[in-house]
């Protein structure tokens, strides 16, 4: 088993805990390996666990009864997820969590985390901040789905991915280092794969983006920002 304290120290909630509490959680936590596209938990499943992503990437999403999926967030680095299960006894998860690549996840029992938070008000405050931040992010995503047209939503997403994953290339532009399929991008903007592919190809024709294998190169952030704001002239 890998030492977990280094991961804890990258998470404000866990970093705020006393050393002895961190060591206790490290002893009782379970480490799980997940393959790409494995579901970690479903929406409406009993929220009995809190999860810490140690490596890999995870998406959190909502799936309709008709099978349509909307991705409401990406989890990566050392981040907690499944926090809505802490809000009340027998509180279900609000979203589904699924891996985007092979991932290592640390799993805590709800009661163990509640006990640790009760012992350390500073950690409890950090958890409240995390829950509020996640709620705000989800509300922003839902507002975008309601008020922004698909090209604007896709432009906004590409700019965000460019900011989070971008790396300057020798030929100009910024390579989005993380790989996303067109279906995954579509799920993140509440659209279909076909529509997303059409818009991406249009952006490529106009020189705003390019493709490097399965990755996207952003070549003109100014035009993407104009599309997002509705001020594009082309």
Gap between the Cα atoms of 4 and 117, Å rounded: 18
DSSP string, 153-180: HHHHHHHHHHHHHEEE-TTSSEEE-S--
In this structure, are 171 and 134 located in the same domain?
no
Reported as half-sphere exposure (CB side, CA atoms, 13 A), residue 213 has a value of 7
Q: What is the layout of strands, in order, in the sheet containing 30-34?
A: 30-34, 103-109, 49-55, 79-81
In this structure, are 43 and 134 located in the same domain?
yes
- CATH number of the domain enclosing 204: 1.10.10.10
Q: What is the mean pLDDT of each run of 10 residues along the chain (234 residues)?
A: 88 97 97 97 94 96 88 93 89 94 97 97 97 92 92 96 91 90 95 97 96 93 94 64
Sign of the alpha-carbon dihedral angle for 11, 50, 181, 185: negative
Q: Number of structural domains, the chain?
A: 2
Question: What is the pLDDT, as a whole number, of residue 169?
Answer: 87
Sign of the alpha-carbon dihedral angle for 189, 59, 88, 122: negative
Which pTM was predicted? 0.88
In this structure, are 93 and 155 located in the same domain?
no
Instruction: Point out the domain boundary residue: 146, 161, 179.
Output: 146
- CATH number of the domain enclosing 12: 2.60.120.10
Question: What is the pLDDT, as a whole number, of residue 171?
Answer: 79
Domain extent for 154: 148-229
79 part of a folded domain = yes
28 part of a folded domain = yes
Question: What is the pLDDT, as a whole number, of residue 233?
Answer: 58
H or E stretch covering 193: helix 193-205
């Amino acid at each position: 088993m890998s030492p977990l304290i280094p991961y804890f120290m990258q998470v404000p909630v866990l970093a705020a805990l006393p050393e002895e509490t961190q060591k206790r959680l490290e002893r009782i936590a379970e480490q799980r390996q997940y393959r790409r596209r494995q579901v970690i938990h479903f929406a409406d499943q009993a929220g009995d666990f809190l999860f810490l992503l140690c490596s890999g990437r995870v998406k959190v999403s909502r799936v309709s009864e008709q099978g349509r999926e909307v991705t409401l967030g990406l989890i990566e680095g050392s981040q907690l997820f499944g926090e809505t299960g802490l809000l009340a006894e027998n509180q279900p998860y609000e979203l589904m969590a699924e891996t985007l690549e092979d991932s290592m996840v640390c799993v805590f029992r709800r009661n163990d985390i509640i006990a640790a938070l009760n012992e350390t008000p500073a950690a409890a405050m950090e958890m409240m901040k995390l829950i509020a931040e996640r709620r705000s992010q989800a509300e922003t995503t839902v507002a975008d789905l309601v008020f922004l047209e698909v090209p604007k939503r896709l432009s906004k997403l590409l700019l965000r991915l460019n900011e989070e994953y971008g790396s300057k290339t020798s030929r100009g532009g910024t390579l989005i280092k993380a790989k996303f399929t067109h279906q995954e991008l579509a799920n993140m903007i509440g659209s279909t794969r076909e529509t997303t592919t059409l818009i991406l190809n249009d952006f490529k024709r106009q020189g705003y983006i390019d493709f490097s294998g399965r990755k996207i190169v952003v070549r003109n952030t100014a035009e993407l920002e104009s599309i997002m704001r509705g001020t594009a002239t082309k």
